[in-house]
Structure formats: structure tokens, C-alpha cells
Amino acid sequence: MAKDLIVVESPAKAKTINKYLGDRYVVKASLGHVRDLPRKRLAVDIENGFIPEYEVIKDKSKVITELKKLAKSAEKIYLAPDPDREGEAIAWHVAEEIKAPGDKIFRVLFNEITKRGVTEAMKSPGKIDMNKVDAQQARRVLDRLVGYQVSPLLGKKVKWGASAGRVQSVALRLVVEREREIQAFTPKEYWSIAAALSADSPPPFIAKILKSDGKKFEILTSAQAEEITAYLKEQAFIVSKVDKKEKKQYPVPPFTTSKLQQEAARKLRFSAKKTMLVAQQLYEGLEIGPEGAVGLITYMRTDSVRVSREAVDEARALITDKYGKNYLPEKPPVYASQKKAQEAHEAIRPTSVGREPDAVKDYLDRDQLALYRLIWNRFLASQMNPAILDMTGVDIQAGRYGFKANGSVVKFPGFRALYMEGRDEEKADKETEEGAESETSVNLPPLRVGDLLKLNELTPRQHFTQPPPKYTEASLVKELEEKGIGRPSTYATIMSTIVDREYVEKKSNAFSPTELGFIVTDLLVESFPDLFNVEFTAKMEDELDEIEEGRMQWVDTVREFYDPFEKSLISAQKGMRNVKREETPTDIECEKCGRKMVIKWGRNGRFLACPGYPECKNTRPLPGEGGEGENAGTQAKEPEATGEKCPKCGSPMVIKSGRFGKFMACSAYPQCKTTRPIPLGVSCPKCGGDLSERRTKGGKPFYGCSNYPKCDFASWDRPVPKECPECKSPYLVEKYSKKDGPYIACPNKDCGYKEEPAGEKTAAGEAGGK
């Protein structure tokens, strides 16, 4: 009897699904996309309706051959990649390649990888949604048109390898513009005065000055603060108003993709990329003791807060059993999704709240457990009663000046017994500064109007207004979502791309643009003012949604975009500033010929060069910077110790940076000029030497053997010191796909082992050229 074929994306998901469905089905993994636009050319027929020219991805030929063979003998073919645009496109590409009759092909959507979720989905298969395919295709073509035509331009004018992306460059612009706001900010002095007071009953408390002659005012100078403090010491502090009220604090909805990324950044310090990587693992299935492989959370790419009735009922039963009836609302809370949310998906939730974090902790690694606990706690809390707080506000008059004290006591913790949403640091700082009502308990003594209070201490304090904060992962994700730039499934790739391209640096969890980031942003905004702006990018996202809903044709959207883009492109090719040729005069004398050196821009930033080139080829780093030149990078900062000794002179080896990246060098330079690449901790599979990162003449990284030229082993993929669990290869490699972003895989092509990536579902911009 012929077996039905099920095609999913990953081996992990295939393994879990196969366990649930048994021998009647053959479950195979496509390992992501099977077709894509070729890397070495534009591959979009602009003159004939923007038709994309797809080809089978180089290392997927074997996968396609196997799927074709299985499809011929299968009675039915179920295409079950992830339930989103990118998954729909994968299903369509697989169907196009296997060329099976249409009545044999079905589309299946697995919102959760559990026995119930899989068997229920298999009962109601559908057909490939071509509107979703068209929306994905439009995004892919738009990104290719921008990336493959603007990036080479940046390569010529700024730096080889510089890239632009339809969405990534707008995200970079946000970071750059915020940095310029910070740089332009002028702090202003102001003062606060706090009064430590006591009533007849404890506890003592703090009140802050707020009004003068009944109106809000500011204390701007030290002299003004001293004058007011001296006046207040002679005044009686009398209670003028007591306002008591009960406040309900409601739980937040279960996670959407963007909210999960924000909260994991705040509470777990996870990057968006790491959050999606771990969430993918939890979704696709992990071995949970006797239960075997099971998906622990629902699909993690969603903008919906909808929850199934079965999940709500299970949560309500657990709340009653674990916390008591007081914590259970009479009716389940109902949360409203965003206007554009795809309600076919659920929120991110545990597939069963019965799998409590402590019950599965022995089967998860630290990151998996931390993220699962966060998702589990938030979902269960979302189904609980609100917290009840007794709020007290007290106005106090002291002569001309009015003070305010706020107190709050948690009367009933409700959902707070389990979960409280984190806050962005800048929001928390602002609320503290403004004396906002605290979410923690702050007790005030019993007070009545007319009570005379004892003044224990007056504390004037100097402050300065603060610039807007730098973007963190959490706040940038929030900003992108609020402005409609990209989609939550693309945020991780956007942020990792602008870091990897060295447009921004991540310091203390905050993004700071590099000089390269400033330059690229300025050039793009000058040359493409209508393309790389927030409003236009958000409008394009709306139009992609319209295509998915069947209300627009994808070719019309691309044509509407391309006509003005082409005009700007032609103009930019002629008029964009050539940063490589720009020179800034200095008073620094060239030690070789005596001319005044100039500042130029190279592949590693600014450097000093002699204007007498080619007669004089002297270059050197700009003081205080790495840059280019004969000794580039050696003056930028104190070299990092390695703990190793120089094999020639015995001096300590240190890590330095040069035009081709970091390397190990003898600390006795220039007396000893020994250098060597930094080993990766992986032995060469060919000769047993050390593998290390090297660079081509063009600056592109590759990985080679320390015994070169005796050993010619080389790889474009970065080796990882970890044994393959399937074929026992002594190392794995870092790879990259446009669908999933970076991931780790076995270098043995016959093995196919792959550790699931963060799973970016669309390409967030293209690198130029190849």
C-alpha cells in the first residue's frame, strides 16, 4: 500500500510528527527553501512583469530528487512547512519542483507540534494559498531590486561589502537619527526638594515639592533651591487633601512575536535572534522523558493574541487548582489583537499548561527553560484576575509651596502572584523621576485633612535633563512594530544584519552607530529620500498585507515601487558622493616627504595618508583610531593578552587588530615580528593542525589551516568546536540561509544534521553583488 508523503521544513519537526502519525506516512524535511533567486545576478525580469527567475538551491538538489521519487509513489502529498507567508512559499516551490498532479497535493498547517495539534490539522487539509505566495514573492523581489542595485553603488562609493536593504536601512536610520538627537542634546539644570515627614503614627514618609502658589513650577538654580529650602524650614507642613481609591491592574495578553522578543530582551538579556532560535526549538519538539518528542509552545511567529477555547479551559482549571478560585475571573479575559493581525494563528502559549516549567526542567537546557518559563508564566497570568491596589494620594501645604506623597498597598495580588511585565529602562527612569505611582507597595501612615506633620529633613537635589536613550533590542523592536517597519518575523535578521555589517555596535545592550553607519545612512537618505523613510516603508508593508488578502496584485505593487526607485537610482549613480575620494586636510606632517597629511576613508574606516600619492605612499592610523595604514589597528587600544608565549622569543602573545581583522602577534614588536592567526579550537580534518580565521585580499573571511601552505584545507563556513551527534564529525560549521538566517550544520554533505536557526522567515534586505 502506497504511503502518503508529508513535507516539513526541519528534521526535528519531521521526527516529532512521524512519531504521532505512524507508518502510514513518510515525513521528510525540505531543510528550508528548496528554490531561490540565484546569488550572482539580479534574476528579476524588469522588462517583462518583474518575473523572478528561480533556481534550485545548490545543496538542495539531493533533497528535490528524493522528494520527487517519494511523490511519484505517494497517494497523497501533504505540504506542511510553517504556517506563514514564507512557509506557504516553500510549499509552493516544493510543489513546482516535484510536478505532481494538483489533486494529489494538499496544504497542512500545524499551529502546534503535539499529537492533538498534528492529528487535528491532518483532518482538514487545504490548498496552497497563492495570495500568501504572491505576498512573499513581492517582498523577495522588492528586496532583491533594492539590495542588488543599491549595494554595489555603496561598494564603489564607500566600502567593498557595504550593503543596503529596503527595511534594514530604515532601521539603521532610526538608530542614527536617535544618536544625532543625543549628540545635539544640551542638558539643562533643575532641582528637586524632598521633605522627610512624620505623622502621629508610623511610618515616616517622603513628599516631593510640586507647586508654588497653587501652580506647578520648576526650580532651575542652586540659589533658588537654597532660598526655598530656607523658607520651608520656617513653615508648618499641614495635610490639605487625602485622596483614596481602589485601582485594578489588569494582566497583559499572552505573547505575540514582537512582545516575546521585547520581554526576553528585558528579562533574559536575549537578543531577538537568540529568542527566535530557542523558541523554534520549543515549537518543533524536544525529548521530554517518557513522553518522547513533543512541541512545548505554539507557533512562534504571530501577531495575534487569540487563544483556543481548549487552552483557556485547561488554564482555568490549573489556576483554580494551584492558586484558588479567588484568582479565577468569572469569565475568561478577551484580548484585542492589532488591526492587521492574522487571527488564523494563536498567541504564543504553552501547548499544555499541564507541562509546568519545573516538571520539564530536567529535559531542557538553561536557555530553553528560561524562555519556556517566561511564555508559560505570561500565558497563565493572562487568564487570571486583576490585581487590586489601594492607592493614596496626599497633598501637603507648607506656606506658599505644595508637596505630594503617593502610597500604594497591594490589597489582592491577582496575576501579579505569577508574572509582571518588564519595563524599558528609559520608561522606568522617567516614571521614577516624575514621582509616578509605584507598582510596589509604599505605605503611608493614617492621615486626615488638617493634620500637622513633623519635618525631619529637607533634601534639595540637583538634576540635569537627560537625552533620549539609545535604542536597545527591546526598544528598537517596539519602535519598528509601532511604526510598521518590517514584520516581527524579520526583526531578528534586521538587527543582526546592521551589527554584522558594522553599521552599529552593541554596547551595554544598547545600539550605537559606527562612523560607517552614519556615512551609509547619510548617502542613502540624500540619494533616495522617498525610499529609505519610515512612512514609505510602512506603506509597503501595508501593501504586502493587501496582496495577502487578495486585494492587490503583486506585480502592480512592485511596478508602483520600481518606477520612482529607478529614477532615484540613475540619479544616485551619477551624483552620490564618493567618500573613498574625499580628503580632509590636517596639520600632521608626513615623516617621509614633509607634506601635510590628509584624512581619507578606507575599508576599515578613516586613516591618514600622504597627498603625494603615488610618489609617496605613506599611510598611518588616525591617532586614537584603528583605521588603515601600515600599522593599522595597533594604536587603537591596549592589546588583549592570550596567555600564550611567542614560539620565537618567548614573549607573551597578544591579540591585535589590522586591516584584515584580529590576529595574534608578539608583544615584543618591532624587535620580534612573529604573527599568527587566532585558532578556533577546531583541528584541521585534513592534517590535524589548528583551524583559524583568515582573509582574502579583498577582505572576505575564510577559514584555513595553520599549516598552510603545506596543508591547503579551506572553508567559507566558520567551524564550531562541537561534535555532530549523528555522524560524529569532530566539528560543525556556521552557515547562513536567506530564509532562516544563521544556523549550525554538519559539514558532511551526506549527513544533513542541522541545529534549527532562529528562523527568520523573510530576507530582510540583500547584500550586494554576490
Split at pLDDT 50, 70, 90, the class of 730 is: confident
Q: Is the peptide bond before 614 cis (omega within 30 degrees of 0)?
A: yes
Q: Which of 181, 172, 207 is nearest to 192 (CA)?
A: 207
pLDDT of residue 742: 65
Considering only residues 626 and 224, tell me which one the structure prediction assigns the higher pLDDT.
224
**CB half-sphere exposure, 426, CA atoms < 13 A:** 12
CA distances from 166 to 264, 442, 536, 538 (A): 27, 49, 10, 11
**Which stretches within 323-388 are classed as H helix?**
357-360, 366-382
Contact 93, 327 (CB under 8 A): no
Contact 735, 755 (CB under 8 A): no
pLDDT, tens digit, for every residue of 544-584?
999 999 999 999 999 999 999 999 999 999 999 999 888 88
In three-state secondary structure terms, 507 is: strand
pLDDT, tens digit, for every residue of 54-75?
999 988 999 999 999 999 999 9
In three-state secondary structure terms, 516 is: helix
pLDDT of residue 648: 86
Split at pLDDT 50, 70, 90, the class of 465 is: very high
Taking the C-alpha atoms of 54, 60, 63 and 65 in order, what is their torsion angle to the nearest 10 degrees?
60
- Return contacts of 308-314, CB within 8 angstroms, 24+ apart: 308/346, 311/346, 311/349, 311/353, 312/383, 314/352, 314/353, 314/354
- Cα end-to-end span (Å), the chain: 47
Report strand pairing: 452-464 vs 189-198. antiparallel
Lowest mean pLDDT among 20-34, 90-104, 365-379, 591-605: 591-605
Q: Among the options 299, 503, 703, 731, which is catalytic? A: 299
pLDDT of residue 257: 94
Average pLDDT over residues 652-672: 76
Contact 454, 197 (CB under 8 A): yes
Q: Is the peptide bond before 709 cis (omega within 30 degrees of 0)?
A: yes
Mean pLDDT score of the chain: 87
pLDDT of residue 687: 81
Helix (H) or strand (E) holding 395: strand 387-398
Residue 627 has pLDDT above 80, yes or no: no
Split at pLDDT 50, 70, 90, the class of 234 is: very high
% of residues, the chain, pLDDT over 90: 66
- Output the DSSP codes for 168-187: HHHHHHHHHHHHHHHHH---
Cell 523592536 maps to which residue? 477
Split at pLDDT 50, 70, 90, the class of 638 is: low
Lowest mean pLDDT among 80-89, 208-217, 414-423, 727-736: 727-736
Residue 433 has pLDDT above 50, yes or no: no
Is 299 one of the annotated active-site residues of the chain?
yes
Strand order in the sheet with 675-676: 640-645, 652-658, 661-666, 675-676
CA distances from 68 to 54, 61, 100, 701 (A): 18, 11, 8, 37
Lowest mean pLDDT among 40-44, 60-64, 377-381, 669-673: 669-673
Provide the whole-model pTM. Answer: 0.76
Instruction: Give the Cα separation of 595 and 586 in Å (integer).
Output: 10
Amino acid type, 619: T
Split at pLDDT 50, 70, 90, the class of 712 is: confident
Instruction: Give the Cα separation of 222 and 229 in Å (integer).
Output: 10
Residue 424 has pLDDT above 90, yes or no: no
Max Cα distance, the chain (Å) = 98
pLDDT, tens digit, for every residue of 172-190?
999 999 999 999 999 999 9
Residue 302 has pLDDT above 80, yes or no: yes
Taking the C-alpha atoms of 495, 499, 503 and 504 in order, what is their torsion angle to the nearest 10 degrees?
90
pLDDT of residue 535: 93
Instruction: Give the Cα separation of 304 and 560 in Å (integer).
Output: 30
Q: Which three cell numbers stand for residue 184?
A: 545635539
Amino acid type, 494: I
pLDDT of residue 628: 45
Split at pLDDT 50, 70, 90, the class of 757 is: very low
pLDDT, tens digit, for every residue of 187-211?
999 999 999 999 999 999 999 999 9
Instruction: Give the Cα separation of 25 and 8 in Å (integer).
Output: 12
Residue 727 has pLDDT above 90, yes or no: no
Residue 738 has pLDDT above 60, yes or no: no
Q: 388: burial class by Cβ within 10 Å (0-12, 13-18, 19+)?
A: middle
Q: Is the peptide bond before 357 cis (omega within 30 degrees of 0)?
A: no
% of residues, the chain, pLDDT over 70: 90
Lowest mean pLDDT among 208-217, 560-569, 761-770: 761-770
CA distances from 305 to 33, 335, 338, 341, 577 (A): 28, 6, 9, 9, 47
Cell 533574559 maps to which residue? 268
Considering only residues 626 and 607, tell me which one the structure prediction assigns the higher pLDDT.
607
